[in-house]
Structure 1
Amino acid sequence: MPLIEDFERTGSWLFRWRSYLPFVFLPLIVIAVLRYPAIESNPNLHFAWSIFSLSVSLVGLFVRCHTVGHAAEGTSGRNTHTQLAESLNTSGFYSVVRHPLYLGNFLIALGIVLLSASPWLIVFYAMAFTLYYERIMFVEEIFLRRKFGRKFMEWANRTPAFVPKLRQWRSAEQPIDFPKVIRAESVAVAVIALTFPTLEFAMHYAQEGNVEIETSWYVLLASGILTYIVARVMKRQLRRWLKYERILYEAAK
């Protein structure tokens, strides 16, 4: 099979499972965390590194939220079986990088990996991410090129695939849709809010024999859980509203 067809076939398969790569790293992260340098000998350095790691993940979350919130309808979704794009996004984060959602994913997971302070795990994660997402981005761009033709080529020629060119920033054309952001990114918020405090618990227990952590981690955990609950309620209400609208539409025929 020619490489282009092989890349497209494997990329389509990986596209369906693209949300699950970070979970493969959880056992490795736990192992690395349990080998973390003694907390009691460098408590201030440990806390500063933890905040830095969390900040990296929050930057990734911001990239995702901004991208999703300003994306046109019918684009930048969580579809898994087929490629979908009703229009071509070229403003906002799409003006500086062609795959901002994957950049956001990379940063979110990188922050979690950084918390382990394990050089081998950080390098391994970067390599695995590159191999995994390269073909996914490849197959997405084939789809966009076939659908949008010259418009896609003009955008792709001036916009890097993964490393942002910030000087090209152009404000988003669509106004931000906050309810859409909350519904779409509640899982990402929950992952960050659950993972960081849990790993902190594990670190303290392994190093000190207790699970006492800074108050800020409890605040993060509570905020993430609350956001996730709000998003679930919003999704349920939206489904009910759409169902009610369908009933009214059928009755009006």
Structure 2
Amino acid sequence: MKLEGFPDLPDFPPGEVWLAGAGPGDPRLLTVLALHAVTVADDIVHDALVDPRVLKLARDDAEFIKVGKRGGRPSPHQRDINEILIERARLGRRVLRLKGGDPFVFGRGWDEAMALHAAGVRFRVIPGLTSGLAGAALAGMPATSRDTNHAVVLAAGHRAEDGTSAADWEALARLGQPLILYMPMAQLPEITAALQRGGLGADTPAALIQSATTRAERVVESTLGALVVDAAREKIGSPSIVVIGANAGLRRQLLSSMVGWS
């Protein structure tokens, strides 16, 4: 499709690595630049959550390297992924590192960028729609609204690779701002208890969104105090995001007129 006056898309030179976000799930939410990268790359190093329909847009002779990290399952170490990117680029390949969401929002994109920089490999960053914001919006929950909040906290709900948790949940609760949690399911009981210790009431609106923007999406409205029980009853698993705060309670105001995502 040719759009009059649209900027030219950049060349993808051999030996470069492009770190791109594939968006929250639905392939139609790819950015134009990410779509361009998929169609011209020689090698696509991709996560497990990238929709297969996105990969089908690649050249027939493109090589696919799956390096997805899934909780509780054997996964490539980050250093191994870094080495793959560097080695492929040094072979003169056009290397696309394709991640779900945005590569710089809980996506290890910074780690990869630093490794490429240290190795002297040129790279480009292509931001993508991050699931916490896009998934919540498409489910009828704004990240901010004039009536509820003027700030929002994005936080990773999973533990770091060394087994520690980077987030101080009690301190985040005291900010009084809505939270959007990525990958929280394994630590959900611990997180919700800490948020209540930090001062958030058990009746604080909350919602779980599983497989956001995909055909498998499920939305469960709840409260902070009931979140763990509701998640277990509805068998909510990964990948999921959790919205906690006043904005999670706004969804019902829109449902009668908001067109569903399909």
* TM-score where L is the length of structure 2: 0.22
- The structure richer in strand per residue is 2
* TM-score where L is the length of structure 1: 0.23
When Rg is computed on C-alpha atoms for both structures, the one with the higher figure is 1
Structure number with the bigger relative contact order (C-alpha 8 A, sep ≥ 6) is 1
- The structure richer in helix per residue is 1
